[in-house]
Amino acid sequence: MNKLNLLCLGLLLIIVSCTSIEPASVEAKDDQINAIDENQKFSKYLEDEWEKTLNKNPLFATYTGDKRANSEIKPNTIEQFNKSKESALESFNLLQQIDLNKLNEDNKLNYQLLEFDLKNDIYSNEFPTYYLRLNQRGGIQSFYETGNRLVYTSKQDYLDWLSRLELFSKNILNSYEINKEGLIKGYTQPRLVTTAVISQIDAIINSDIESNPYLKVFLEADESLLTSEERINLINDAKNLIINSINPAYTKLNNFLKNEYLPKSRDSIGIQDIPNGKKYYEYLARYYTTTDLTPQEIHDIGLAEIKRIRSEMEDIIAEVNWDGDFDSFLNYLRTSPRFYYDNSEDLFNAYLIMSKTIDPLLPKLFKTFPRAPYGVIPIPAESAPFTTTAYYNSPSPGRPGYFYANLYKPESRPKYEIPVLTVHEAVPGHHFQISIAQELENVPNFRKYQGITAFVEGWGLYSEELGEYINLYDDPYDKFGQLTYDMWRAIRLVVDTGMHYMDWSRDEAVDLFLKNSAKSELDIQNEVDRYIAWPGQALAYKIGQLKILELRNKSESMLGDKYDIKDFHYEVLKRGSLPLELLEFYIDEWINESLNS
């Protein structure tokens, strides 16, 4: 072959090579551009959705530090409920226009989490839940607690809260109209819930004006933000609003509840007894556990857990050489003065000391810590008799997270529950998990505030077991307290499904608690009444905890020497709140990556 032919052949190969590569390159470039466009499109969608969330929920906006609508609250009307329903459907339809396959990995997770929320909003809105808002643990009678949790940094903040209270008096009257309609349509709360709400409203309207809970914010106003005259005027304006608007609205609602609603309230306690109640409970079981478990399957899991935990309790009883049976040991724990403080101050100080005992032990378990501080404060006296042992309220800009401890009747609050309660409500439980989520970087805002109950409460219950790792339960009675709290959540699975799906009575639920846990009878009754008023929520704790424990055991087994509990906890918490199926997906991915590294 001569040089010319070689040259021609070379040119031909170049041409063929260029023509075969160029279309693929163009196609790859187009795909890349499309992917960028889709991610940009999704980012804009997320921004718009967040703005819509803040606009629809002015109180939530304030909690996040956005005060543009600081003097407004969300109406509680049926019309507003229907608007929210339409808004969720509109948001979902817009989300479906985003091509999930063209999103990067971070945005795929953002998409899945937002889709999870919207689907649940849409499905739950098929049920007229506005008829079921009466609740002794929170609701129309405890709006003052919202004001106590806000951050006030200016005179205008106090004026804005006063404006919100003026609007709230309309919501009280709306509650009257909605419950009146619900009564006609056969939607009522159980009699015991109605009775408790009436008692709480009575306490408000019969209180002296100086001790009215709605005045507290103004009486305790930061004097550095107001002149003496401004503070006096603010207090007087608040008193006038309470006397002329809030109390009259409460009185109208309460007279209706006493004279019309209570006599026709349900004698039954299960949500299955309202129209479509059984279907609603099946949805609640799926929603709160983020699984497809049926109420019967959840019930059976609870029974199995009761059996397992009871066996561990028996071991503790043997360890302390108790000369008696299980029931007599529980009676001893409930009645012996050695296990109780005789005043609220000592009980509160014990919680403070315990929280500060735990703090320096946490580096044994974690490599990432929240920046937000936390505090321990009493549950408000007005609601303490009707609520449970403790709860947590998350931090907001300018305000720490708070572990609320119930100091009502300290003689019914055993010392052996102090360690386990503190690790659940404060650190490394709710404060740890929720604060880390709020402090996530490079995630859309909704992720920072997303609270998927099976994850949040599953982590809280899982944290109780972590007390073992920091020797918090060296005393066998403290260990029995931890087992009591684990048993408590196992019993929840049985009694919640039992009462709302299987025709259990309240007495049957209380009896199961009394026979298997060391919790006081007052606590047990408050707990059972909570499940009656809040169907399904109690299922989340144990189902979430079991999944996290399962994944920890799997990680330790598969990783062997590469396993470190600090790494596991980092992987669990680093994305914020997740449905359990997604949590398992990411832990499996981490295990595989660790094995191959």
Contacts 24+ apart (CB under 8 A), 206-209: 209/239, 209/242, 209/243
Residues 185 and 292 both lie in one domain:
no
Do 368 and 310 sit in the same domain of this protein? yes
Counting the structural domains of the chain, the total is 3
Examine the fold and report which residue of 67, 100, 124 is the final residue of a domain before the chain moves on: 124
**Model pLDDT for residues 493-550, shown as the tens digit of each residue:** 999 999 999 999 999 999 999 999 988 888 899 999 999 999 999 999 999 999 999 9
Claim to verify: residue 16 and residue 137 sit in the same structural domain: no
Q: Tell me, what's the pLDDT at 31?
A: 59
In a domain, 370, yes or no: yes
Do residues 79 and 15 make contact, with C-beta atoms less than 8 angstroms apart?
no
Q: Are residues 49 and 156 in the same domain?
A: no
Instruction: At 339, list the tokens.
Output: 């296990």
Rounded Cα–Cα distance for residues 318 and 322 (Å)? 6
- Say yes or no: 389 and 481 in one domain: yes
Does residue 275 lie within any of the structural domains? no
**Which of 237, 267, 297 finishes a domain?**
267
pLDDT at 342: 94
556: in domain: no
pLDDT computed for residue 270 by the predictor: 97
Q: Is residue 68 one of the residues assigned to a domain?
A: no
Tell me the pLDDT band of 26, cut-offs 50, 70 and 90: low
> Is 419 among the domain residues?
yes
Q: What count of other Cβ atoms lies within 10 Å of the Cβ of residue 15?
A: 10
Same domain, 199 and 300: no
Tell me the average pLDDT of the chain.
93
Give Rg (Cα) of the chain: 28
Listed residue (314, 378, 376, 374) closest to 343, CA to CA? 378
Q: In this structure, are 220 and 302 located in the same domain? A: no
226 and 113 part of one domain: no
Q: What is the pLDDT of residue 387?
A: 81
**Which amino acid makes up residue 517?**
S
Based on the domain organization, do 217 and 365 belong to the same domain?
A: no
User: Residues 256-265: what's their mean pLDDT?
Assistant: 98
| Residue 505: domain span | 280-546
Q: Name which of 20-29, 397-406, 441-450 the model is least confident about.
A: 20-29
Note the pLDDT of residue 557: 98
Give the CA dihedral 155, 159, 162, 163, nearest 10 degrees.
-160
Neighbours of 561 (CB within 10 A): 5
Residues 513 and 373 in one domain: yes
| Same domain (yes/no): 233, 263 | yes
Buried-exposed string 292-327: b where 16+ CB fall within 10 A, e elsewhere: ebebeebbebbeebbeebbeebeebbeeeeeeeeee
- Asked if residue 455 and residue 327 are part of one domain, the reply reads yes
| For helices 476-501 and 506-516, angle between their N-to-C axes, nearest 10 degrees | 160
Residue 424 covered by a domain = yes
pLDDT in tens, 85-135: 999 999 999 999 999 999 999 999 999 999 999 999 999 999 999 999 999
Domain boundary among 124, 144, 159: 124
Q: Token digits for 203? A: 């306490």
